[in-house]
Structures are given as structure tokens and as C-alpha cells.
Amino acid sequence: MDKYKAFTINIFPFNSDIVSGVLWNLPIEGLTEESPLLVVYSKASKGLTTKIIEDELENLVSQNLLENYSVSEKIEEQKNWNEVWENNLNVIHIGKNIVVKPTFRNYDKAENEIVIRLDPKMSFGTGEHSTTKLCVEILENTINTGDAVLDLGSGTAVLSIAAAMLGAGKVIAVDNDEWCLLNGKENIQLNNVQGIVKVRQGTINDVIENNFELVVANINKNVLIQSAQSISDKIKKAGKLILSGFYKSDTLELTKAFENYNLSSVSQYSKEDWSAILLRKKY
């Protein structure tokens, strides 16, 4: 029986989507989130080492996407890693009426509930993270019927699907990761919103459309600050912007960064250590 290496990775800030995306490019069989830790499993025969993982994480540090990390390693006997991963995913209730349900979980829909079915596969945004919940809750109270919406850093496309189910007329979901492109398309089909939501691989610089009524960006703080002007340029006058993906302690810095580009804070929200801001573009 092949033995497995279990690598426990402590990361700060705990931006699991970015780090998970890097780790899934390595020869691993499974990944679980145990905030603030990620645990990845690889067959010993595949030769993955702590040094290889550290090199990948150091690259994220050099891009200001990660501040610090630590990696420890141990040997474990073989397990059904897909089963281990699936056991960590549950039905999630968000806001007033939103339910996010993995495809392999049974759930009886209550009256007035909006149920989003997800097959997250590579762990890109299952709806369990506080920043995703914050964005969904704000969407539920902010979106207007027929709105054109841009979802930046779309991951599984859960926010795009939520926007469509809440009444958006058009949604463009953008992520720079190929796994997110493929998985986003699958999840959009699962929820029958392919007529509203379109998924693209790329960054905001690849989006030619503008005059969005609403933009939602659940991304790393440094990327948000670097993209502030580009994001503002996509929003029509009096349009709205939902920002998340950062800690409460970063709220003021983010608010000031976007004030430089004609966006003012309307409301601020927090959940656990995470924050979100709703902003409006000035006339």
C-alpha cells in the first residue's frame, strides 16, 4: 500500500483560494481547509517535498499575495482522499434565503429559498468562507432586477450564480485560473443560468465591457488596491461595488484607495476577522 505525505501549511493571511490554486498544480491527491491551516496529501512515490511547496509559497510572498507561512510534513497510510474532502463540505445557509448545496448533499428546499448547487471539485470557493458569505449577503440586499454585474475572481462562480438567481440581467465572471474557468462553466450549467452568466479566463484588463451597475470583487487586498482604477472604470455613474477578501484591519486602507477613483463607502460589514465594503460611484 502506497504511503502518503501529509503537509500542514499555516498561511497568513488565510486566502485559501489563491494558495489552493497553486497547490493543486502540484502532484497532490487531496486538500482540506482547517482555518488557518491547509492540509494537502500526496503519494510518497510522487516525490513532493516541503521544499517544493515552500518555493511555491515564497513566490506568492514575492507577489505580495502572502505575508508568511510555515510547512510541516508527516507520513500517513492510504485513505480515500476524495471522501475526506467531501466530508468537509456541507449545506450552507447565507443571508435571508440563500442556500449553497454541494451536489452530493441532499437538501429539501423551503419556500422562498434560492438553492445554489455547486460541484466545487478543486476547492475554489465552496461558500463556506466568511468573505463569500459577506458578498452573498450584500448581493441579496443590493442587486436590482436587470443589473449588469461583473464578478472578479469568480472561482466556482458562486457569486455570479447568486447574482443571476437574484435577478441580474447579465453577469460576466472572470478568473485568471483555468480550473476556475472549467468549474465555473459546470456550476453555471448545474444551476441553469448559462443564458445570463458568462465565464472568462483572465483579469479585469481582459474585460472590454463597462457601465456595469454592480461589480463584486472578492480578491486579495493587494490585488484590489493595484486594480482600483481599472475596477472603477468599469462601473457606471451611481453604480455599486462590493469589495471583500481582506481583514477588518485593512478596511480603512481599501476605502481610501477607492476614494481616489470616485467611489465612496456606503456600508461596511464584517464576519469573524474578515471584512467587506459596499461603495457607490459618484455622479
User: Do 143 and 241 share a domain, yes or no?
Assistant: yes
Q: How far apart are CA 236 and CA 261, in angstroms?
A: 12
Model pTM score: 0.77
The CATH number assigned to the domain holding 217 equals 3.40.50.150
Q: How far apart are CA 244 and CA 221, in angstroms?
A: 8
Q: Nine-digit cell at 188?
A: 453555471
Using one digit for the tens of pLDDT, what is the confidence trace for 49-104?
Answer: 999 999 999 999 998 888 899 999 998 766 655 566 666 678 889 989 999 998 88
How confident is the model over 223-244, as a mean pLDDT? 96
User: Do 175 and 236 share a domain, yes or no?
Assistant: yes
Q: How far apart are CA 100 and CA 93, in angstroms?
A: 7
Q: Is residue 101 part of a domain?
A: no
Q: Which of 65, 85, 105 is the last residue of a domain?
A: 85
Q: Is residue 93 part of a domain?
A: no
Q: For residue 14, is pLDDT > 90?
A: no
Q: Which of 57, 85, 113 is the last residue of a domain?
A: 85
Write down the residue that cell numbers 497553486 correspond to: 22
Q: Is residue 169 part of a domain?
A: yes
Q: Is residue 94 part of a domain?
A: no
Q: For residue 122, is pLDDT > 60?
A: no
Do residues 41 and 5 make contact, with C-beta atoms less than 8 angstroms apart? Answer: yes
User: Do 56 and 162 share a domain, yes or no?
Assistant: no
Using one digit for the tens of pLDDT, what is the confidence trace for 197-206?
Answer: 999 999 999 9
Do residues 116 and 95 make contact, with C-beta atoms less than 8 angstroms apart? Answer: no
Given this model, what pLDDT does residue 2 score?
A: 65
User: Do 178 and 40 share a domain, yes or no?
Assistant: no
The CATH number assigned to the domain holding 25 equals 3.30.70.100
Among 272, 264, 220, 270, which Cα is nearest to 238's?
264
The parent domain of residue 197 ranges over: 130-281
Greatest extent of the chain over all pairs of C-alpha atoms, in Å: 66
Given this model, what pLDDT does residue 135 score?
A: 95
